[in-house]
């Protein structure tokens, strides 16, 4: 059974066909990367998977369950998490506060003022562990707007992983990072539990080929090829798109 499956997914915005008839299956534990030029429909596809926008056609399922009509928060509760192409932190809150909010959203007493002390202690403990694991303890009490862009992206990633999702969607996690930060964030992704299924949009081919078990190429709203790194490298249309684009 696939962890995540899209069958004939399409989307149009007004008259614009942003996605046409996309079908792909990601087996549990696979690292799948989507590449393609700007405007190819990659982020729109993520928005369909997570329920940010409704599909215009097609079906989406998570571990065999049809989630096409489920709202985004229910998909998240089923174990689907994402990061955004642009950082999604509360800028005035500290890194720790952002993390506590993300963790709290996964508990039944979310946003309650009357949480038990024990529940709060567990949340703080989990937050401390995560900060330490990802070596972000040093910025725990900094407001999100005061840390570097590269650190913000790392915190975004930590938040998406904080609830231990079954399927993690990463939208260009390396965008705008320095070479050293790219190494660090790739390391974070490599270190994720192997059973976690990861679907990632990546602009940089080297990063994509390094992380991917399998790759899909999107172009003008269509999925033009799926294959392993060698198959993608050798594909004439992929070469044309990338050489043509640069």
Q: Which does 151 bind (CB under 5 to 8 A by kind): Mg ion, ligand ADP, none?
A: none
Residue entry with tokens 């940089």: 204
Min dist. Cβ of residue 218 to ligand ADP (A): 6
Task: Closer to ligand ADP by CB, 153 or 166: give it.
Answer: 153
At a CB cut-off of 8 Å and minimum separation 6, what does 239 contact?
A: none
Neighbouring CB atoms inside 10 A of 108's CB total 6
Q: Which does 243 bind (CB under 5 to 8 A by kind): Mg ion, ligand ADP, none?
A: none
Min dist. Cβ of residue 47 to ligand ADP (A): 7
Min dist. Cβ of residue 19 to ligand ADP (A): 8
Longest dimension (CA), the chain: 61
Q: Which of residues 82-141 bind Mg ion (CB under 5 A)?
A: 85
Residue 89 in contact with residue 156, Cβ under 8 Å? yes
Nearest CA among 67, 42, 64 for reference residue 54? 67
Task: Closer to ligand ADP by CB, 80 or 84: give it.
Answer: 84
Task: Closer to ligand ADP by CB, 3 or 40: give it.
Answer: 40
Min dist. Cβ of residue 85 to Mg ion (A): 5
Q: Which does 13 bind (CB under 5 to 8 A by kind): ligand ADP, Mg ion, none?
A: ligand ADP
Backbone angles phi, psi at 65, to 5 degrees: -95, 130
Q: Is 110 left (phi over 0), alpha (psi -120 to 50) or beta?
A: beta
Min dist. Cβ of residue 171 to Mg ion (A): 6
Q: Which does 20 bind (CB under 5 to 8 A by kind): ligand ADP, Mg ion, none?
A: none
Burial 191-200 (b: 16+ CB within 10 A, else e): eeeeebbbbb
Task: Closer to ligand ADP by CB, 43 or 162: give it.
Answer: 43
Task: Closer to ligand ADP by CB, 23 or 65: give it.
Answer: 23
DSSP type of residue 154: H
Q: Count of H helices and E strands in the chain?
A: 9, 10
Neighbouring CB atoms inside 10 A of 215's CB total 25
Q: Which does 51 bind (CB under 5 to 8 A by kind): ligand ADP, Mg ion, none?
A: none
Task: Closer to ligand ADP by CB, 33 or 40: give it.
Answer: 40
Residue 6 in contact with residue 23, Cβ under 8 Å? yes
Binding site for ligand ADP (CB under 6 A): 13, 16, 18, 36, 38-44
Per-residue x/- mask for Mg ion, residues 33 to 52, rule CB under 5 A? ---------xx---------
d(CA 214, CA 228): 5
Q: Which residues bind Mg ion (CB under 5 A)?
A: 42-43, 85
């Amino acid at each position: 059974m696939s962890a995540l499956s899209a069958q004939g997914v399409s989307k149009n915005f007004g008259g614009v066909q942003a996605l046409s008839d996309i079908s792909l299956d990601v087996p549990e534990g696979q690292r799948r990367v989507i590449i393609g030029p700007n405007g190819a429909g990659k982020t729109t596809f993520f928005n369909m998977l997570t329920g940010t926008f409704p599909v215009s056609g097609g079906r989406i399922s998570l571990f065999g369950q049809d989630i096409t009509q489920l709202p985004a928060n229910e998909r998240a509760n089923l174990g689907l998490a994402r990061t955004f192409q642009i950082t999604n932190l509360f800028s005035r809150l500290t890194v720790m506060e952002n993390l506590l909010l993300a963790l709290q959203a996964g508990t039944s007493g979310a946003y309650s003022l009357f949480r038990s002390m024990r529940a709060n202690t567990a949340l703080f403990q989990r937050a401390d562990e995560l900060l330490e694991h990802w070596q972000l303890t040093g910025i725990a009490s900094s407001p999100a707007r005061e840390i570097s862009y590269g650190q913000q992206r790392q915190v975004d990633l930590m938040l998406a992983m904080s609830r231990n999702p079954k399927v993690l969607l990463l939208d260009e996690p390396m965008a705008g990072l320095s070479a050293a930060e790219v190494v660090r964030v790739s390391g974070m992704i490599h270190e994720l539990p192997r059973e976690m299924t990861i679907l990632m949009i990546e602009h940089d081919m080297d990063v994509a080929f390094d992380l991917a078990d399998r790759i899909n190429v999107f172009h003008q709203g269509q999925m033009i090829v799926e294959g392993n790194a060698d198959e993608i490298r050798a594909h004439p249309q992929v070469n044309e798109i990338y050489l043509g684009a640069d």
